[in-house]
Amino acid sequence: MSTRARPVLVTGAHRSGTTWAGRVLAASATPVGYIWEPFNPRHRPGTFPIRFPHYFHYLCAENGAACAGPIADMLAFRYRPAAELASLRSARDAARMGRDWRRFARSRRRGATPLVKDPIALFSAPWLAETFQMRVLVMIRHPAAFAASIRRRGWRHRFAGFLEQPLLMRDVLEPYTDEIRAASDRAPDILDEAILLWNILYGTVARLQERQPTWVVARHEDVAREPVAQFRELYAQLGLGWSGAVERLVRETSDASNPAETVRSDAIRRNSAEQARSWRAQLSAAEVERIRAATAPLAGRYYGDGDW
């Protein structure tokens, strides 16, 4: 498989800028086909027919064989109309089917590079990278920004979903077993829940970085503050084609005239510089200190004193 044709995986924690990064990278001058979150239980079966039973489902050499064929078909933009037809429940579903089928067909005709945007695939990223020769971009976000965003959205996590995956617990999350069991037995305060989730997700990233030196890692804050320069560098690192149109998209989606926060969680037009520091107004000084203490020393790997 040529360098250009190798798929790209954009992952990291949810609320870490993966949607913005994925959409901007998909605008490459070299054809790229955007694929939305196949590991998300809410994805459409026409694009990928397997619906995983857990968020953050874990695939590895021991359990991934049954999924390899369907993932390969997805990366080749082979749409599954029969699977989608069986799932239709509304006119909106039917319209989405037509849209996705056309997008897959267009990407296949163009020989587009598949770009999978999926933070929920984080734990499976090593298997995906090895099995499909994926280039991987991992987005990092400041723990206080992540926690503030999770609380603002009211997004709770079901930690029992980790415990229900023995391979995941054995291979990846064993160091967090006691904390995960406690959070599963009794849901913590939403900030404490976000803290634990940040430590789990980025503790995993820190360990993966030691074994995956070719993976690209980017801090959301750096991209938000210098979007043109940072995206240009990401394009170079991932072997994608930069253009004037891409630069215009970067400027439009990060411009100061955009809102810092939006109602839609998937909106990509933000005042990116303001968004990067909006957590400071959303958290009290005591809450910031609580997050800082609970995420140290892992946070120190990615953020210095000046970032707090």
Residue 134, CA distances (Å) to 10, 147, 162, 225, 293 in order: 10, 29, 25, 28, 35
CA–CA gap between residue 119 and residue 240 (Å, rounded)? 21
Q: Confidence band (pLDDT; 50, 70, 90) for 267? A: confident
- 46-73 pLDDT per residue, tens: 999 999 999 999 999 999 999 999 999 9
Sheet holding 135-140, edge to edge: 32-36, 113-117, 8-12, 135-140, 216-219
Task: Write down the pLDDT at residue 263.
Answer: 81
**If you search the block for the tokens 């990509």, which residue do you land on?**
268
Mean per-residue pLDDT over the chain, rounded: 96
Whether 1 shows a pLDDT value over 60: the answer reads no
What are the angstrom distances between the C-alpha of 56 and each of 3, 95, 101, 272? 28, 28, 26, 27
Q: How far apart are CA 269 and CA 127, in angstroms?
A: 32
Confidence band for 2, pLDDT divided at 50, 70 and 90: very low
Q: What is the pLDDT of residue 119?
A: 98
Q: What is the pLDDT of residues 125-175, one digit of tens each?
A: 999 999 999 999 999 999 999 999 999 999 999 999 999 999 999 999 999
Which runs of E-coded beta strand occur in 236-284? Answer: none
Whole-angstrom CA distances from 40 to 33, 36, 157, 277 are: 18, 9, 13, 28
pLDDT number for residue 144? 98
**Over 200-234, what HEC string results?**
HHHHHHHHHHHHCCCCEEEEHHHHHHCHHHHHHHH
Give me the pLDDT at residue 303, please: 98
pTM: 0.95
Least confident of 6-15, 111-120, 260-269: 260-269
Check pLDDT > 50 for residue 99: yes
Which of 13-22, 33-42, 144-153, 265-274 comes out lowest in average pLDDT?
A: 265-274
d(C-alpha 148, C-alpha 129), whole Å: 31
pLDDT of amino acid 225: 97
| pLDDT > 80? residue 5 | no
Beta bridge partners of 8: 115, 135
- Residue 4's pLDDT is what? 44
Report the C-alpha gap between 175 and 77 in whole angstroms. 38
